[in-house]
Structure 1
């Protein structure tokens, strides 16, 4: 009878952990197809009592480190099988890419006029970060990328809103307001001249306070001389050196009604006067233009109060309505 010789450099036959969560039988030369569940892990004392060999006698079992004693039935990795020892954490490459794109998008979204690039990168980073959360490896790059992408979108929207408001404001200031001022100036203002023509072709002149301007259609207007005015406690607009009041009268000797639309402007010593509104003034309220139509053969009288720099230097421009050219009354004739 011939005795079977075993290779002293290989472990003896037995059951070993093949790295897949089960044991496989090693016949001393190669792995067999026979498998079994893993045996319960024995205590260190039991392992020491049942060690059948050591690395001095048999060498290392395939998959174990040199010099390591491996008890039978509790052993290590099957030759060629992956180790059961946990591997170091893998880098989540997609999460890192998402974080980089999110950071770049955040920066670009905060720079005016190149925000479009940031708004393109941030959604991409957001999607990649969400996908990276479900991939193996560290989760922190994906979580950080997700947070940075959201914050970048918020910051970009805020910057875009601020820039848009600023640009619109500049456009309004540089184009719209001057255009409105020019239209108002053309419609309501007139440089005083010695002679001008009203809408009906009648010649008008610069008049002294107390004079009457008559138009060809039979409508006339009179502005009295200025009188001192004492504002009541309910007055608004009395903010200059002196306060004066004028009495204005429209007389309609035409055949049609006249709807007054009065827009008076007063200048005092080169300074624009301030209109006073006073509902508690003695003798009735002042400063509110008339709105009642003047019937043929009738007249309408009201008072206008102004706060002026110098009551001795006054120039008033007014007319019964927009259909009549403004007439100038002055104290400087």
Structure 2
């Protein structure tokens, strides 16, 4: 009787119309379609090194029969057709099959970060978040490409991070050029004052006083609203009947999803723009807050009670409509506040304050 261990590990016909992997001592659970060349030549009843069983006759019809052994497994039997290994599939003995591909965890993380960064990169005024996340996702995806496991999450994350950067740059350019274009079309950059605040003007302004007093040049009109200061809660009305109201500040409690709360006091303002004109108003609100001579920090909080805080509106305001949102700031002193704002670059800036004029 031949020794079964002489049969090398590899893929063999298991006698059931398919090939199965033989590990050198027993059949494994790994199977594959049967693909081997049909045997040719005379039968060789006792090939060297091939296990055989008593009673194996010349009427065997396949290269290997599945003969049960004591532990319940099966082993290759004697070759009764041609050569010792005529039952081998094309290519001869091979290595054991690989296991299922592993999940590339870093690639999945890169893909998620890239997707979040892509979303933020498409939103004006919060694009900085996307521009921070996208490079991180790009680096993570590159590293993940060299790790074991499925490659598609890393490749997808790489593509999304690159496309997100391009789209974000396009959105930023469109917003900037759109704002500058509207400013040029309205004449703001040429010194036109058609949208100057509705400030009463003294007819004697600029006229030399016969008693020798210095003339009063009136409002500066330089965008700083030098002569127009309102208290919180009052309403500023421009010459085209577009108005803006900034409420009195209220205490603000940032949530765990906030960013920017880095000074002693956190406050929130409610801002409203009413379009009383006959044309659409595209808001581009850039607010600046100071407290006791210190620049305040804007707070962004998507988990704030009552809705997100800190993101100004970007939707055009139709004639007769209004829009309201909240902006929060971290300040040094709640008793010394100055807030400068305007509906867009087309309007002169006005100052809201709690300081006595």
**Superposition TM-score tier, normalisation by shorter sequence:** 0.3 to 0.5
TM-score normalised by length of structure 1: 0.40
TM-score normalised by length of structure 2: 0.38
